[in-house]
Amino acid sequence: MARWEPDAEGRLRDAAMALFTERGYDATTVGDIAERAGVTARTFFRYFADKREVLFAGSDDLERLMVTGLTAAPASAGPMQAVAAGLCASGEMFAGRRDFARRRQAVVAASPVLRERELIKMATLATALSDALRDRGVAAEVASLAAETGVAVFRVAFERWVTDPGGPDLAEVVRTTLADLADLTPG
């Protein structure tokens, strides 16, 4: 039983991640998570619709941060620079959460169902970024290329960030990865 903390949502998240890691995602029930967190299943459902949502509750925040960051880029920024601003803006929600993110990646990687859900999340993100670029007046073809490429960069940068515990923060890793991409695609 975890010691009492006022943050039931945070405790549920930590309990879920610990159990997913120990027993696997499929073998963990909502009842197990609530028990480990020292709350009732009823309390669990006040915060999450199901156990999968513990892993994907941040998706909307991630999209909102990226779209806001992209939209706030100066009018003079090109499509890829605006996407870069969006990707970097997501860094704030991951500050201090690298360990959680690393364990989450491992749980997702171990489950075909969760990997599919993650792919859908990334595709949804690409659509949102593309739409936000079009709102800035970027042509549809360019918008989708910049958005799809941006999400590819984000996936790679995120993987680099979680696997380098003492390394730079996510925004910095995104910038480095974008620079690597520029080196790979000489004009």
Within 13 Å of residue 74, how many CA atoms lie on the same side as its CB? 2
Contact status: 149 vs its own copies (CB under 8 A): yes
| Chosen residue from 159, 167, 169, 175 binding its own copies by CB under 8 A | 159
Q: Using alpha carbons, list the distances in angstroms from residue 102 to 16, 39, 107, 159, 187.
A: 14, 25, 9, 8, 35
Among 39, 80, 114, 125, binds its own copies (CB under 8 A): 80
Which is nearer to its own copies, 34 or 151 (by Cβ)?
A: 151
Q: Does 169 bind its own copies (CB under 8 A)?
A: no
Q: How many of the chain's residues bind its own copies (CB under 8 A)?
A: 32
Chain-centre distance for alpha carbon 29:
23
Single residue of 41, 49, 72, 123 touching its own copies by CB under 8 A: 123
Closest CA to 102 of 153, 58, 161: 161
Should residue 165 be labelled a site residue for its own copies when binding is judged by CB under 8 A? no
Q: Report in angstroms the alpha-carbon separations of 64 from 50, 58, 60, 174, 175.
A: 22, 10, 6, 18, 20
Binding residue for its own copies, selected from 18, 57, 77, 145, defined by CB under 8 A: 145
Q: How far is the CB of 152 from its own copies (least distance, A)?
A: 4
Options 22-30, 52-60, 61-69, 140-148: segment touching its own copies (CB under 8 A):
140-148
Tokens of 134: 């079009």
**87 in Cβ contact with 174 (< 8 Å):** yes
Q: Which two tokens stand for residue 126?
A: 């690409």
**Given candidates 42, 141, 165, 166, which one binds its own copies under the rule CB under 8 A?**
141
Among 59, 156, 172, 175, binds its own copies (CB under 8 A): 156
**Interface with its own copies includes 144 (CB under 8 A)?**
yes
Please give the Cα distance from 18 to 21 (Å, whole number).
Answer: 5
**Chain residues in the site for its own copies (CB under 8 A):** 78-80, 115-116, 119-120, 123, 141-142, 144-146, 148-149, 151-153, 155-156, 159-160, 177-178, 180-187
